[in-house]
Structure 1
Amino acid sequence: MLITGENRESPAPGTALLLAAAPAGKGRLIDAASVLPALAAVPADVLAGTAGTAAATVIELADPLDPQTVLTRIRAAAASPGPLHLYLAGQLHVDRKQRQLHLALARTSPATMRYTALPWHWLVGELKIRRPGTTTVVLDLVADTEAWQQVTGGRLLFGDGTRMYGRIAPAPGRRTVAAPVHLKAVAAIWRSGARPPLQHLHEQAAAQTASEDAPDGALLFGITPSNAPSNASAHAAGSPSGHPAGHTAGPVHGYAAVPGPRIAPPPTGGPDPASADAHPASPAAPGADPHPAILAAARAGRHDEAAAAAASCENEALRAHGPGSVQVLHWLEVRADLARLARDPARSCELWMTAADVRLGRQQTPDDPDVEAAVDRAHHQWEQIRDAARARQLAPALVALRRRVPGRQRGALQLLQRRLEQLHDHHAGTAPSAPAR
């Protein structure tokens, strides 16, 4: 179905692509297409991010069958020079042979994954060629066990210059079909007439779904390009580039943003490999999961309270399971992400580096997805530090860590060293000159 908005003159019309897909029958984990009527009721220019500024086109793909057809539609949408908003509802799986991430389509089954599902790297490849700052991806996905491991390991990135919002949850229990609750909440907010900035929109939607659903350990995404200024986290509604009015997007030069937050219960799939009798358990009081309350405090701006609660949980885990345990490591990473939410990138960088060091000390390899993710997050947070002196102070440890863990983004170490040189050059150029003799 093709819906075209009012034909206003604009040099860069916007495009919204709505892709909702899930296998038919017992393989269905989410009723993805159920969100399409709600989204279709939203004005086209709002969906495309051009409200009041440009024309808009909405392309809707409901339970498509063929991955090549889907790729063709994505490629055509990505070729448009104007803003692109891609809305994805569905489920993620990993194929048996190449262990690659796929978005399931209507005919997908475990045996036919490589031929009937959309490879995730196809989607990433089409969006990478777009001009930075013009692409927004909104996710409402569930992931089976193997796909969830890749998602939480940071294998879902679209690259620098692409904003990403929404949620990915682990697959529901047997005989349970999830609903795309985040996208439905977004559509409901827009249909009410409200037009909050993108960051606020998705925070409101996440708060609504958290109150409606039991905690499911979902990952929440709210990522902006790494060259955005510190006050650009709330995007102006109707701005084609997603940047606040008056801000011009320049070339993206920083390290790619990484998923967050990681404030979710620790994995429960097996014992701590560092301890034969250890078992993942929340360090909270019996029967009480502290994660929802901590996340709620952070979202409400009570960052000191959230950090103190997480530190208390870490101390309890330390007493119960010992240093280097998976439980202590989990709470260390929670504290790192709480620092990010509190907009303290230096502290977040420091904690993520500590987490990476702990993982390496547990004999995890430098190419382990969790080790790479910790270093990537430390690197990204370092890029956000506005205090040049503090950035220079943290840089030697980060450079040493990045040499051990180069990661999967080519040139990450070179990017880090280049920015460090710029910081040193700037510092030398602004240092007071010595008095004349």
Structure 2
Amino acid sequence: MSAVGTAVLLAAAPAGRGRAMDAASVLPALAAVPPGILTGTAAATVVELADPLDPQTVLTRLRAAAASPGPLVVCLAGQLHLDRRQRLPHLALARTTPATLRYTALPWHWLAGELGVRPPGTTTVVADLAADPEVWQCLAAAPGLLHLGPGPLLHARVVPAPRRGEPATPEYLRARAELWRSGVRLSPEAAHAEAAARAVAVAPVPEPVFLTPTPAPPPARAGAAAPAPPTRTPSTPRPSRVPVAGSAPAAARVPRPAPVPAIPPAYAPATPPAPAPAAAAGAAAPVDPHPAILAAAMAGRHGEAAAVAAAWEHDALRRHGPRSVEAVHWTEVRADLARLAGEPARSCELWLAAAEARLGMLQRADDPDVEGAVDRAHHQWEHIEDPARARALGPTLVDLRRRVPGRRPGALAALTRRMT
């Protein structure tokens, strides 16, 4: 046993008729497990989220847990629904309805973005999920739909959401809790197999999917290859390919920056950050990661693209520090990936961070890279549909607009009018 660990117990499902998984029923069993047993450490902190209401609150708690240096275990019970506009899975929360999914549920790729940057071997996610028919179909066609990035280990059971009657029960996660409490020490793979067998025996459901991933190595050692998707057993028939909805933004109400590709070279600095060097002289040069990331995003695999980009950003931070061209480059890549995923608030937040970082690197306010970052943050801010999120990001944007007015007059005045 080593440093202090963190365990997050997250059980979430809509209230009323929309509840397809009795998620909270497993919390007493999980809470009865000593925290140190959950994380494999001498001491551990437990964060319990029972039927949370707001995705931003969940994101904040997950982000804080992910920032801890010790081992992290996330126990997750809930139900998945598909955002029909972007074809992205979301974890439903207490107030989620089909009409409000994009604003009241937690996007799965937010989870991937927070956990995917942690060092390999430090993060485990144990999940028991019910999937609505659209997510179920997508999972059959693309087992990597729930990929969390190169570092985390995901062991999960996914069952089809019942169409009517009693909601599903998290028997797989309950079995994992029983194994933890029993004191039997099993490898993660063995514990997953045992819990899966017990869940099938207690609550047989038609063709459950059990996800058992193989972690990918960190990008510095693996070049740009995208992480291997999880395996799924048993196999189910693969339906026809699911079309991916377009992600072109609506017309802006402020001067719009010139169109740019989703991935560099448009955002690349004068000297683009090079991929990690080969391990030995004469070894093959690492592959540029940008094409693989862009291909994943354009295919609708936004969570996978965001997780790989975040892992490269984490590596740039480790190698070069936060005030480096390499690190800000990857922040800008992630910002545009958020735009492609239809997340203007997240995109705005990242563009603001990129602009602040460039100013912190003593780049001039009229530098095209600085102006471009602020212009794009402003443009994405105009597309935020949640008033609370727009108000939260507005003051930072106003402050940046005062320092970086840009090349088109009236942007600051338009922003202040909109804020009032």
| Partner deviation per Cα, 1:386-435 (whole Å, 9 max, x = no partner) | xxxxxxxxxxxxxxxx9xx987567x9xxxxxxxxxxxxxxxxxxxxxxx
What TM-score comes out, normalization by structure 1 length? 0.52
Counterpart of 1:21 in structure 2 is 12
Within the candidate set 66, 76, 80, 1:92 is matched to 80
Cα pair 1:49 1:85 within 8 Å, conserved = no
**Which residues in structure 2 correspond to 1:178-197 (within 5 Å)?**
178-197=168-187
Is 1:176 equivalent to 2:166 in the alignment?
A: yes
Distance 1:27 1:42 in 2: 30
Q: Shift of residue 212 of structure 1?
A: 2.1
CA drift at 1:251: 5.0
Identity %: 55
Mapped partners of 2:6, 2:153: distance in 1: 15
- Following superposition, the deviation at residue 224 of structure 1 comes to 3.1
Which of these residues, 31, 35, 38, is aligned with residue 44 of structure 1?
A: 35
Residue 235 of structure 2 is aligned with which of 246, 251, 264?
A: 264
1:19-50 Cα shifts (integer Å, max 9, x gaps): 00100100000100000000001010111232
CA distance in 1, matches of 2:150, 2:196: 23
Q: Distance in 1 between matches of 2:82 and 2:190?
A: 32
Once the two structures are superposed, what CA deviation does each residue of 1:148-168 show, in whole Å capped at 9, x if it has no partner? 123331221111121110211
What are the Cα deviations for residues 186-245 of structure 1, in whole angstroms up to 9, with x where unaligned?
A: 1112222212111111110011112223342111122232349xxxxxxxxxxxxxxxxx
Which of 79, 90, 96 does residue 102 from structure 1 map onto? 90
Match of 1:214 in 2: 204
**Aligned counterpart, 2:328:** none
CA–CA distance in structure 1, aligned partners of residues 70 and 13 of structure 2: 29
* Displacement over 6 Å in runs of 4+: 364-368
Match among 170, 189, 203 for residue 193 of structure 2:
203
The answer to whether the 8 Å contact 1:132/1:161 transfers is yes
Shift of 1:124: 0.9
Whole-angstrom CA distance in 1 between matches of 2:158 and 2:60:
25
SS at match of 2:77: strand
Q: Distance in 1 between matches of 2:151 and 2:64?
A: 19
Match of residue 153 from structure 2: 163
Q: 1:30 maps to what in 2?
A: 21
Distance 2:88 2:213 in 1: 23
Q: Is the 8 A contact 1:30 1:142 kept in 2?
A: yes
The match for 1:73 is: 61
Post-superposition offset of 1:252: 5.5
Residue type at the aligned position of 1:108: T
Q: How does 1:215-230 map to 2 (within 5 A)?
A: 215-227=205-217
Report the aligned-residue RMSD: 3.0
Change (3 A) 1:129 1:28: same
> What SS class does the counterpart of residue 33 from structure 2 fall into?
coil
Aligned length: 251
CA distance in 2, matches of 1:64, 1:365: 31
Distance 1:164 1:49 in 2: 17
